Amino acid sequence: AAGVIQSPRHLIKEKRETATLKCYPIPRHDTVYWYQQGPGQDPQFLISFYEKMQSDKGSIPDRFSAQQFSDYHSELNMSSLELGDSALYFCASSILTGTDYEQYFGPGTRLTVT
Amino acid sequence: SQQGEEDPQALSIQEGENATMNCSYKTSINNLQWYRQNSGRGLVHLILIRSNEREKHSGRLRVTLDTSKKSSSLLITASRAADTASYFCATDHRGEGAQKLVFGQGTRLTINP
């Protein structure tokens, strides 16, 4: 079965650079979520999109922006990178089944800021 | 502060024993989900329990939910070395048109052969 695809899987950037992470949800899934997981930390919700519109927003820095495109893929843009942005970034997608949304996570993009 | 808090933070047991992990949360939820994560890898969905359910089974996994106490437990029976991983509970909070998951801090489980 198709899974959530994230690219790149690994990314190394320097401070103050920009990075773009991409997420391709499972076909027919209508919602995309982004999470950030720092070293030894639990995943933190950043932002979500439903039918290409932002649907919920968490602790996402102003330096980050995201969007969902007409083909439902999503991109997380990160500018003025800081050392503290080094983390695993997960994308998840979901579709309503019955009364519940079950989120399926991608393998993550490991961002290292040096 | 985190919505979900897990206890214990680390658990080390012998293969074949049962492992129990607990999770507490603060506000009302639609459902609670448990995920597994191998070191530095992706999150694998294990089981979802709805707010109107009290117990759910899936293979060697048993999840309970007590909404009056705002707590859940994950029991892994007859543990195997391959069960070594971090386990997170995540509570589902429904926003307009979508939901976000709020994760607990996770329990790092080590199964010793």
pLDDT digits (tens, 9 = 90+) for B23-65: 999 888 888 999 999 987 889 999 999 999 999 999 999 999 9
Give contacts of A56 with chain B, Cβ < 8 Å. 95-96, 98-100
Q: Which residues of chain A are within 8 Å of residue B101 when distances are taken between CB atoms? A: 33, 35, 43, 45, 92, 103
Considering only CB atoms, which chain A residues are within 8 Å of B97?
31, 50-51, 53, 55
Write out pLDDT tens, residues A66-86.
999 999 999 999 999 999 999
| Structure tokens belonging to residue A56 | 């919920």
Say what the pLDDT of residue A1 is.
67
Cβ neighbours of residue A85 under 8 Å, at least 6 residues apart?
Answer: A78, A111, A113
Cα separation, B12 vs B110, in Å, equals 5
B43–A31 CB contact, under 8 Å: no
Name every chain B residue with its beta carbon within 8 A of the beta carbon of A104: 45
- Contact across the interface for A56 and B100, Cβ inside 8 Å: yes
Q: What residues of B are in the A interface, CB distance below 8 Å? A: 2, 4, 30-31, 33, 35, 40-45, 48, 50, 88, 90, 92, 95-106
